[in-house]
Every structure is written in structure tokens, then in C-alpha cells.
Chains A and B, each alone.
Chain A
């Protein structure tokens, strides 16, 4: 495999630039909020600029090869190195994490949640960005682990300090769940390291040597990784932290959580667990598929039972990640490419939905579906954006959500050789039913919230509450949302933009299954 050593500094700069912003923020006095916002904004713009430059430099013809590879000694004693690289699987997620952070920063310029303190808020957000981007480029398990864990504390504080009423419970639950998962994951990483001869933690090395392990060893190591990643995804039955965390998190936290953090788990499966342990993946795939479809149905039913808009969107995440996991569990390039697409699409769409929910909450001071109504009348722009996102989320052809969901279901028709075809076809049917339920809960949500007349308590023009209560979408929101809306549409119409990047890389990931 030919490594492209050109411009290998770019990934490091793109990943650690936000930390530079944090250092700058530390010296800005707390009271100077304007300057703090400027620093945060400029940092994230600069980060995205590096990201765009990376996009230009990326050799799309070779999306299956690791590019911008950089390898430096880091902890020689434990044979772990600072080894990073970017291929077609990492690229969309890496870039998405940068863009989402920028959009969230833009949104926050006007919406710092109570109790304020933008200095701390932006610092945490930028640390979070470093952790997320780093996870997607790490090619060494220990490096991956460090970045994977780096996101924990900032998110914990973001939920716990700036969250809703029940924030302390939610933040602790989030933390303990993920930490439990990652502790087992670390043990699994170490076991893998020793079983492959204690030579290296580099993922390419492990991919080469992991396949030779005895099947029962693989199955156990996979189990440890599975718990670590499944908590993060989250898969049923490890999902219970998610609705709480999402509901209590501030809008910004929810968006980042939905758009990027959940993907760390699925990405872990695609990048590490499956290629390194192919035999175990085959053994586990039917169970993962089963849990995935349970998640789809369970999430959908959960949605139908919710009375809170944000909680409903949170449960819809469980369902959507179920589709992603179903695609992955087929172990076919078709299913996995669909899953990767679904991850990005879910990031864009659900991120957008959480943005809208945040703005609704800000204006009505409630997300109680029964109390809302007639948003289309009061704020037509906001109402239509919500409608657009709901349509995208339920998988309407022509929008991005469709290309994640439909091929994932289809891929279950013919899973990889050696997997039980009947089981997967049953999964396929159940998952297809799940899309019907998805349409039901999203349309029902949209109908109850946006149609009809505004409820009497909010019927005025807003002057009764406070002055800008019912202003339609403002300029900060437009700036933050437009890129997402455009991306949802563009990827819906020309999905091949992303498929052609993903597919070659997925082929490489699955090489272990062909010979």
C-alpha cells in the first residue's frame, strides 16, 4: 500500500488548532465576552479552512488508501506511536466534525445557554473538537483511545453545567456509561496487543495480524470492543443514557452529541473491531443485526410515546443508529457504505432537528408537544425548516436521509457469505416496518407542532412575553443552519458525491472477508 506522505502536517494542524484557540481563550479576561466570541469563531473558521484545504489536497481517486500519513514516536515503551492518517471513511466524519463545531459556535454567538460564561463554554467546545477530529484520524489504538476519552469530560461539563433541570443526573449517567464501555474497550485493546505478539498498536499492523487469532479469542476481544462502541452508538440495550443526555443537554451539546459523538462508536466498529477481528465479526454479526433492528423498532415506539419534542428526536437517534448498525452488521461493502452514508446523513439531519428544537425552546420556553402548535403560522421559516428536517429524517427520497436508510435495509437482503440469510431477511422486513413508524412519528410531530393554530397561551404576537419571543429565524440561526440544509439537499440529490469517497475505503476495510 503506497502511503502518500505529502502534506502530512495538515491533519495535526487541523486537529490541534482548536487547542490553540483554547490557550488564547484562557488569557482573555472573562468579562470581555465579545473578544471571547471572536477568538472562538476565528479558531473554528481557521479549523474549517484547514479542513477545506485538506479536502482539496485529498486524492479522491485513491480514497481507499491512507493519506496524509504521519508517524512519530510517542510512547516507545508501550509500542504506541503518534500515527495518523485519513482515508475515505475518515474524511467525511473528520470534515463534518469541523463544520459542525463551526456552526455550533456561530449559533452560540447569540445563544449562550444559562448560566452564561462563554469563556468556559467555548473552551470546552474547542477541546471537544480536538477529541472528535483526533478520533477519526488516529491509526493507533492507544492514540484512538486517548482522543476517544478526551471528549468525555467536556461533554460531561457541557451537559452538567449548561443543561436543563435534571442535568446532573443526565451528565453523570452519560459519563458512567461511556466510561464503563471504554474501560472494557481498553482491556480488549490490550488483550489484542498481547495476542498479536505485543508488537504494535498500529491499526494496519493489527488488521494484518488479528485475523490469524483463534476464533474464540477473537470473539472475547470483540466482546470488549463491542461494549465500548455499542454504548457510544448507542445500541439497544445500552441506549438509556442517550434520551436523558440529549434532553438535558444545551442545544449545542445535543447537536454535537447527535452529529459527531454517536459516530465515534459506529466508526470504531468500521475502523477497528470488524477489520481487525473478521472471524469474530462474522460470529457477532447476527446478534448485532438483531440488536440493531430491536433498536429501530424500540426507538420508533419510544418516539411515539414521547411528549417532549427533544426527547422524541433523541429516541429517533436510537432508531436511526439502528439502521446504521444493521448496515454494518451485513459485513458487505454495500451495507457498510450505506451505514457510513447514514452516519453522515444522521449527523446533518438530527443535528439540524436539535438546532430547531433549541430555537423552539428559546421562543416558547417549552418543548412540550401538547402545548406547541401553529409554528408555521407564527414563524413560517422556522416551521418549514422543521418540516424539511422531518422529511429528511424519515428518509424521503431526494434528501440525504434516504441514502443512509434505504440501501442499509436493502443490504440485509444478501448479507456477507457465511451469515444466516434468513435471519437477515427477517431483519430487513422488520427494519422496513421501522421506516413506516419513522414516517408516523415524524409526521405526527410535525403536524402537532407546526400545523393548526397557535395555542392560546402563545397566541399573541409575543409582546406579551418578551420582545423577541416570536421572531422568526434570525441571522445567526440562518448562518448556522443554511450549510446543513444545503448539505442535506445536495447529498440527497447527488449521493454519489459521498459514495464514491466511501466505497473504495470500505472495500479496503472488508478485504479480510474476501480471501
Chain B
């Protein structure tokens, strides 16, 4: 036994490591260790330093991402193509880091005012973000799975952060059980795929389908199980039932984090799998995606209409937004559409991240005063906090897809790639999407009406105190929402086809 291990060791050659390409991950890993260590030596009154440390870690990790982005040289591929840094992964890494930074801003005061331990909070948050950053580059079943668990396990704990609150416990528990169940299903699917291809490398999976002269039942089953696993992650209907309870019980900044970053990570994995590993199996997953997308946006929307709690409403809203993100994937198997579908998903996620984080920033700010999650507590917000009300209106209108706010360009590109397929299925899904975008206004409008047209409950007109970190988060997100809407060229530039797909095909 030991002998064979040593024998293997002599053959082992250290792989070529591109430290520049790995710098974001290394900085994050170092940062989270520093946060954990610093927590040991800081006394209670100076714990605020931790949130700054977490913030600086994320900004620090942004630097190599920027230099990588500016570096026009070819794609950096490591470990036999299992870990790839291309335009797509750089854009998504930047998104996760910035979204993570906004979540840090949202959390700062929130965590300080709770009486729970701070150090672990920041440590777990950074770990989860590290998992997401790894996910963007993973091109191998194993690394995808490791990244997924890396981002999920801290998230389970963060959801249950307020451990003396029964709702938070429920949130963490549900999220954990269903998440683990999804992982198990996915892992089973991956094992089937490995059996069929004798490799975990995504590119090899794709090759094995062509090599065996078509799709075997083993392939089909494996693909479906893997997709189901990720459908849990992105809370697509009918795999969404954990989301509303988890979102309601988790601390608000974590809800924002889950609904944006964690969800986006699921989409990243889904995109890489579908477009790198299974482009030849589109016959299996296209109809599946079509149904998932139509169901997700419709069911999410219809249930959202009935909600009275704002976080639950945002949970269903985020489910339904996920349906819109999935839309182009229903036709993405066609070679002439896949590029625009990829672009559309990326653009949608960028816009959605900015807008949804902004909306959660407003929710956190408002609940500092109202101490309630009921939509009725938002009555008359415009009369005593016009700034927040206008910001919330901008974010909600963007989520509803009303130009010239960011959300419309996301919806637009999704429609565009559906219609470019020129198939009846594409048109039908576009129509369903169009009708759903109208239904969605029903509940976004409810919040707007509450803010602008209803009286203040109890006549309590005291101002809402907004801490500086929250103001910065609001400013960042509103600027992003407006700029992406008025000059979508900025977003579509990041989602530029040629720059992204060049690497993806490899």
C-alpha cells in the first residue's frame, strides 16, 4: 500500500502554476485566514476592524482580477484545462468580488448590532466568496463540485447565523438539508457521467458523447441529474421550496448574498456544464430548460403576488428572475444561438446583482426604523424618506424591466437570443416571458404603491438613520443600475461574445 503511494509519488511532477492567474484566490484565502486570526486577538470593542479587513481582502482580490482583465494575452489554462481563467471567468470573478464587497457593506452595522460572534461571520462570508470565485474557473466535475461545496457550506451556516432565533435555525436547516440532498443527486449524476466518459474533464465529457456515436442513456441520466442538482442551487421551480423560508429566516445581508451571489454561482456552473460539456446533448437539456424556465418565472411570479412580507416577496421575485435568466438556455444548444445566450445570461446576472443588492440595501435601511418585514410597514415612506423611496422605486422598476433602468437590458438580451433561434419554442417562451414581466409589476407595484400612495402607519415620521457603509452600498448599486440601463454598452461589452466564447469552446 505505502509502497504504491511512494511509487506514484516519484512519477508525480509538479504542475505548472500561473500565480498571476491564481492571485485572486490566493489573496482571498490569505485574507480569510487573517480575519480568523485577528478575531482571536481583538477585544470586543475593536471587532469592527474585522469588517474592514474583509472589505479590504475583497478589494485586494479585485486588483489581480483587473490586471488579468487588462492583459489581452490568451486564455490561461492550468491543470490540463481543469482550471481556466478566460474572459468569462474574469467577468464573473469581478462580479462576485464586487457583490461580496457590497454584502460586506450591508453587513457591517447589521453584524455589529447583533449580539453574535463577528469574526466567524466574516470568515464564512469570505470562504463562500472564495468558492464562487473558484467556480468561475472550474472546468472539471471535481473542481466544480469542490467549488460548489466550498461556497455552499459556509452559506448554510450563515443562514443559521442568528442561532437564538428559531426562524434563522429553520432557514439554515432547510437550506442545509435540501442543499445536501441536491449535492447528493448531482454527485450521483457526475458518477454516471464519469462512468460514461472515463474522465472528469468537461471537454472530455463532450467528446465522449460524439465518440460513442451519440447519446447513451447513461449520458442522458447523468446530465439530467446534474442539472437537477443545480436547479436546486438556482432555486428553479419545482426545486425552489427551500428559498422563501431560508430567505426569510436568514439575516438580511445574507439573504441578499444568497439571492444574488449564490444563485449566480449556480448559473455559472450550469452555463459551463451545458455549453462546454454537453453542447452535443442539447436534445436532452433544451426541453428541460424550457420547462424549468417557464415554470420558474410563472410560479415565482404568481406566488409573489400573494406575499405580505417583503423578504418573502423578494424571495419569490428572485425565483422568478431566475426563470428569466434560464430563458435563453432553452435554445442555447443551437450553435448560432449559444454565444448570444451566454452573453444574455452574463448580462442578466450583472444587472440583476446590482439591482437586487440595491433593493436589499433599501430593505435593510428601512427595517432599521420599522423593525418589521411587513410590506404594510413601508406605508408613506416617500413622505418621510423620499431618498430611500426613490431609490427603492428605481430598483423595483429595474427588476420589473422598465427602461431606462438596468433590468430592461437583461430582459432584452434574453428575448433577443430566444428570438434569434427562430424556432416556435423560442417564440413561445418569449411570449411567456413577456406576459410574466407584466405580472411581475403587480407585486413590484405593490411596494411602490405602499411607499408613494399609502399613509404612514402610526403616523411615525421619524427619519431613517442610514449608516455610512449602507449609503456607500446604495450609491454603488444605484449608479450601476442607472448606468447599465442608459448605456448598456458597458454591460454588453463585458458580455461580448467573441471575447468570452473564444475560451469556452476549448
Query: Which residues 72-89 of A have a CB within 8 angstroms of B?
Result: 73-78
User: Which stretch in A42-50, A53-61, A181-189, A401-409 binds the other chain?
Assistant: A181-189
How far, in whole Å, are A168 and B451 apart by their CA atoms in the complex?
12
B431 nearest CB neighbor, chain A only: A187
B403 within 8 A of A: yes
**How many angstroms from the CA of A191 to the CA of B442 in the assembled complex?**
26
Within 8 A of A (CB), among B368-418: 382, 386, 393, 397, 402-404, 408-409, 412-413, 415-416
Whether A120 and B386, one on each chain, are in contact in the complex, defined by CB atoms closer than 8 angstroms, is yes
Q: Please, which residues of chain B bring their CB within 8 A of the CB of A190?
A: 415-416, 419, 430
CB-CB under 8 A from A179, the residues of chain B are: 402, 437-438, 441
Complex formed: what's the CA distance from A27 to B386 in Å? Answer: 13
Residues in B neighbouring A156, C-beta threshold 8 A: 445, 448
In the docked arrangement, what's the CA distance between A186 and B441, Å?
Answer: 16
Interface centre among A153, A171, A193 (most CB of B within 10 A): A153
- Which of A180, A183, A191 has the most chain B CB atoms inside 10 A of its CB? A183
The reply to whether B427 and A191 form a contact with Cβ atoms under 8 Å apart is: yes
A146 touching B404 by the CB < 8 A rule?
A: yes
Which of these, A150, A160, A172, A193, contacts B404 with CB under 8 Å? A150
B434 near A184 (CB under 8 angstroms)? yes
Evaluate contact between A152 and B413: CB separation under 8 angstroms: no
Q: A176 to B488: give the CA distance in the assembly, Å.
A: 25
Determine if A472 is an interface residue (Cβ-Cβ < 8 Å): no
Chain A: interface residue count, which band? 35 or more
Residues in A neighbouring B397, C-beta threshold 8 A: 153
A190 to B448, CA, bound (A): 30
Least distance between B293 CB and chain A CB atoms (Å): 16
Shortest distance in angstroms between A33's beta carbon and chain B's nearest beta carbon?
A: 15
* A160 contacts B431, C-beta separation under 8 Å: no
**A186 contacts B489, C-beta separation under 8 Å:** no
Q: When the two chains form the complex, which single residue of A75, A78, A152, A187 contacts B402, counting CB atoms closer than 8 Å? A: A152
Chain A residue nearest to B404 (CB atoms) is A146
B403:A77 contact, CB within 8 angstroms: no
Known: A77-B493, A183-B438, A186-B434. A168 touches B404 (CB 8 A): no
Residues of A within 8 A of B386 (CB): 30, 120
CA distance A147 to B385 in the complex (A): 28
Cβ–Cβ contact A180 & B435, under 8 A: yes
> Residue B501 at the A interface, CB < 8 A?
no
Question: Does A161 sit within 8 A of B, measured CB to CB?
Answer: yes
Q: How far is the CA of A193 from the CA of B449 in the complex (A)?
A: 36
B434 and A191 contact, CB distance less than 8 A? no
Closest Cβ–Cβ distance, residue A382 to chain B (whole Å): 31
- Residues of A close to B211: CB separation below 8 A: none
When A77-B493, A150-B403, A153-B397 are in contact, do A183 and B437 touch as well, CB less than 8 Å?
yes
In the bound complex, CA of A153 to CA of B419 (Å) = 27
Q: Within the complex, which residue of B343, B427, B489 is in contact with A75, where a contact is CB–CB below 8 Å?
A: B489
Looking at the assembled complex, report how far the CB atom of A475 sits from the nearest CB atom of chain B, in whole angstroms. 31
Q: Please, which residue of chain A has its CB at the minimum distance from the CB of B401?
A: A183
- Tell me whether chain A's interface is mostly helix, strand or loop, or mixed: helix
B451 to chain A, nearest CB (A): 10
The answer to whether B235 has its CB under 8 Å from any CB of chain A is: no
Distance to closest chain B CB from A77 (angstroms): 4
Complex alpha-carbon distance, A73 and B495, angstroms: 18
- Closest CB in chain A relative to B70 CB, distance in Å: 21
Q: Are B435 and A149 in contact (CB-based, < 8 A)? A: no
The reply to whether the CB of B48 lies closer than 8 angstroms to some CB of chain A is: no
On whether A183 and B445 interact (CB within 8 A), knowing A30-B386, A191-B419, the answer reads: no
- The total of interchain contacts (Cβ-Cβ below 8 angstroms) comes to 93
Distance A160 CA – B412 CA, assembled complex (angstroms): 28
Chain A residue nearest to B416 (CB atoms) is A190
* A77–B496 CB distance below 8 A: yes
By beta carbon, the residue of chain B nearest A148 is B403
Among residues of A, the one whose C-beta sits closest to the C-beta of B403 is: A146
B137 at the interface (CB under 8 A from A): no
Chain B nearest Cβ from A212, distance in angstroms: 17
Interface residues on B, range: 35 or more
Cα-based distance from A193 to B422 in the complex (angstroms): 11
* B121–chain A nearest beta-carbon distance, Å: 37
Q: Which residues does chain A contribute within 8 Å of B404, judged by CB atoms?
A: 146, 149-150
A499 within 8 A of B: no
Could you tell me if A176 and B496 are in contact, using CB atoms closer than 8 angstroms?
no
| A residues near B427, Cβ cutoff 8 Å | 187, 191
A470 within 8 A of B: no
Interface positions of A from 107 to 147, Cβ below 8 Å from B: 120, 142, 145-146
Bitwise interface map of A from 154 to 184 toward B, beta carbon under 8 Å scored 1, else 0: 0011001100000110011001100110011
Q: Which B residues touch A146, using CB under 8 A?
A: 403-404, 408
Is B434 within 8 A of A172, CB to CB? Answer: no
Q: Is A194 an interface residue (CB 8 A)?
A: yes
Task: Select the residue from A160, A179, A180, A184 with max chain B CB neighbours within 10 A.
Answer: A179
Q: Are A153 and B492 in contact (CB under 8 A)?
A: no
B453 at the interface (CB under 8 A from A): yes
- Asked if A13 is at the interface (CB within 8 A of a chain B CB), the reply is no
Q: Chain A residues with Cβ under 8 A from B441's Cβ?
A: 175-176, 179
Cβ–Cβ < 8 Å partners of A149 in chain B: 402-404, 408
User: By the criterion CB–CB under 8 Å, are B452 and A161 in contact?
Assistant: yes
Q: How far is B452's CA from A157's CA once the two chains are assembled, in angstroms?
A: 8
Inter-subunit contact A187/B415 (CB<8 Å): yes
| Residue B286, interface by CB 8 Å | no
Taken residue by residue from 159 to 198, chain B's Cβ proximity to chain A (1 for < 8 Å, 0 otherwise) reads as: 0000000000000000000000000000000000000000
Inter-chain contacts of B403 with A (CB < 8 A): 145-146, 149-150
Within 8 A of B (CB), among A445-479: none
| Smallest Cβ-Cβ distance to A177: which chain B residue | B438
Q: Are B393 and A153 in contact (CB under 8 A)?
A: yes
Asked if residues B434 and A160 are in contact (CB atoms below 8 Å), the reply is no
Contacts of A161 in B (CB 8 A): 382, 452-453
B419 touches A194 (CB 8 A): yes
Task: Considering the complex, give the chain A residue whose CB is closest to the CB of B396.
Answer: A153
| Cβ–Cβ < 8 Å partners of A142 in chain B | 412
Distance (whole angstroms) from the CB of B295 to the closest CB of chain A: 19
CA distance A190 to B427 in the complex (A): 10
- Knowing A145-B403, A184-B434, A187-B434 are in contact, say whether A176-B442 is a contact too (CB < 8 A): yes
Question: Is the C-beta of B420 less than 8 angstroms from some C-beta in chain A?
Answer: yes
Q: Could you say which of B420, B448, B452, B492 contacts A77, with CB atoms under 8 Å apart?
A: B492
- Mark interface residues in B484-506 (1 if CB within 8 Å of A CB, else 0): 00011100110110000000000
A198 within 8 A of B: yes
Q: Which residues of B contact A145 (CB under 8 A)?
A: 403
A153→B386 CA distance, assembly (Å): 16
User: Which B residue sits closest to A181, measured CB to CB?
Assistant: B438
Question: Are B442 and A78 in contact, with the CB atoms below 8 A?
Answer: no
Q: How far is the CA of A222 from the CA of B488 in the complex (A)?
A: 27
Contact partners of B420 in chain A: CB under 8 A: 194, 198
Bound Cα distance A183, B495 (Å) = 24
Closest-CB distance, B136 to chain A (whole angstroms): 22
Chain A residues 183-209 with CB under 8 Å of chain B are 183-184, 186-187, 190-191, 193-194, 198
Residues of B within 8 A of A75 (CB): 409, 488-489, 492
* A180 CA to B438 CA, complexed, in Å: 6
Residues A160 and B415 in contact in the complex (CB < 8 Å), given A77-B493, A120-B386, A172-B445: no
Fill in one digit per residue for A223-248: 1 if any B CB lies within 8 Å of its CB, else 0.
00000000000000000000000000
From residue A43, how far is it (CB to closest CB) to chain B in Å? 19
- Bound-state CA distance A183–B434 (Å) is 5
A194 contacts B422, C-beta separation under 8 Å: yes
Interfacial residues, chain A to chain B (CB-CB below 8 A): 30, 73-78, 120, 142, 145-146, 149-150, 152-153, 156-157, 160-161, 167-168, 171-172, 175-176, 179-180, 183-184, 186-187, 190-191, 193-194, 198
25 of the cross-chain contacts (CB-CB < 8 Å) are A74-B489, A76-B489, A77-B496, A78-B413, A78-B416, A78-B492, A142-B412, A145-B403, A150-B404, A153-B402, A156-B448, A160-B453, A172-B442, A172-B445, A175-B441, A180-B438, A183-B438, A186-B434, A187-B430, A187-B431, A187-B434, A191-B419, A193-B416, A193-B419, A194-B419
Top 3 A-B residue pairs of the complex, sorted by shortest distance between their CB atoms: A183-B434, A77-B492, A146-B403
